[in-house]
Chains A and B, each alone.
Chain A
């Protein structure tokens, strides 16, 4: 359905709406983890090539976001959190979003291949395809495990950054991949707990909708444990120094305390879901701080 905002089909979409299709806020974390993966690599990369690699990661993530919004326009229209996006709000035609996403993906891969190397290009391609086909099209509407498996899509950037610098993949970027992969369930389930109604209205089988709050809370607690193990592993394995190790220990301790609080409580009537919202916000800070500490650790070392 077209809204009044775009009742005139001749009105071309605003360039800001194309920018919104790329999910710039999500891209911030993607770019940051990709950059840190690159800076943590033992081989320095020329700043121009490093900038190009990060640009390609950002464009690839933007393309995946645009294709996600193209496919999920009907779902987005049913959820408060997303109904203001360009497609559900009727400010853009679906075909424009599809073309934009496909061309942006192709461009990011082309540039990565020409300027950087085929390993980084391959991982970038896998991450885009995984997000669009495995997460968006296959899993999201079918299973409450959607964000568990789909979380892999967001875990690729440090691998891509590392591969851009070195041309291969090693243990440390694989551990960073595991960290983001295992971080995704507690992060998204904390969000799902306080926007449960939204997901239920849209028919998205998020864990709180399908299995209930109790199970979701327990799962948040359980997934936090291997996540912390992945976060801590680089230090005892000798892949990082003390700066990263101590930061990871401190931040993981706080994360665990918050996760335990969320896991052990029950929602009261008129509950403001404060611990869940706090865990969700802290989980974003957690990744930023850990990846930042990784880079500082490299510089100090």
Chain B
């Protein structure tokens, strides 16, 4: 197991382990959404800056 808290996790009841995994999944999903939004934002900013650069 690659988990830095491996020892705690191994001795944990299945329900708690499931809760941890659910939290990790939810956080990963939110992070993926935020990163995706950031990529779109940077793309949009770049396009706008280029347009403003040409018109200015």
Contact = CB atoms under 8 A, between A and B. Distances in A.
A12 B24 contact: yes
B52 interface: yes
A48 B44 CA distance: 7
Nearest to B48: A48
A82 interface: no
Given A48-B44, A52-B45, A14 B23 contact: yes
A10 interface: yes
B9 A10 contact: yes
5 interchain residue pairs of minimum CB distance: A10-B8, A10-B5, A15-B30, A48-B48, A48-B44
B19 interface: yes
Chain B interface secondary structure, helix, strand, loop or mixed?
helix
Interface of B: 5, 8-9, 12, 16, 19-20, 23-24, 26-27, 30, 41, 44-45, 47-49, 52
Contacts of A49: 45, 48
Nearest to A11: B20
A8 B30 contact: no
B16 A11 contact: yes
Contacts of A55: 41
A8 to B, nearest CB: 6
Interface of A: 8-15, 46, 48-49, 52, 55, 114-115
Contacts of A14: 23, 26-27
Contacts of A11: 16, 19-20, 23
A48 B45 contact: yes
Contacts of A10: 5, 8-9, 12, 20
Nearest to A7: B16
A195 B23 CA distance: 35
Given A9-B5, A11-B16, 4 more contacts: A10-B5, A10-B9, A12-B20, A14-B26
Contacts of B5: 9-10
A180 B32 CA distance: 37
A46 B20 contact: no
A12 B48 contact: no
- In this complex, which of A8, A14, A52 has the most chain B Cβ atoms within 10 angstroms of its Cβ? A8
Contacts of A48: 44-45, 47-48
Nearest to B16: A8
A115 B44 CA distance: 10
Nearest to A14: B23
Given A11-B16, A11-B19, A11-B20, A115 B45 contact: yes
A197 to B, nearest CB: 36
A52 B48 CA distance: 12
Contacts of B27: 12, 14-15
Nearest to B4: A10
Contacts of A46: 48, 52
Contacts of B9: 10
B4 to A, nearest CB: 10
A9 B5 CA distance: 9
Contacts of A12: 20, 23-24, 27
5 contacts: A9-B5, A9-B8, A10-B5, A12-B23, A15-B30
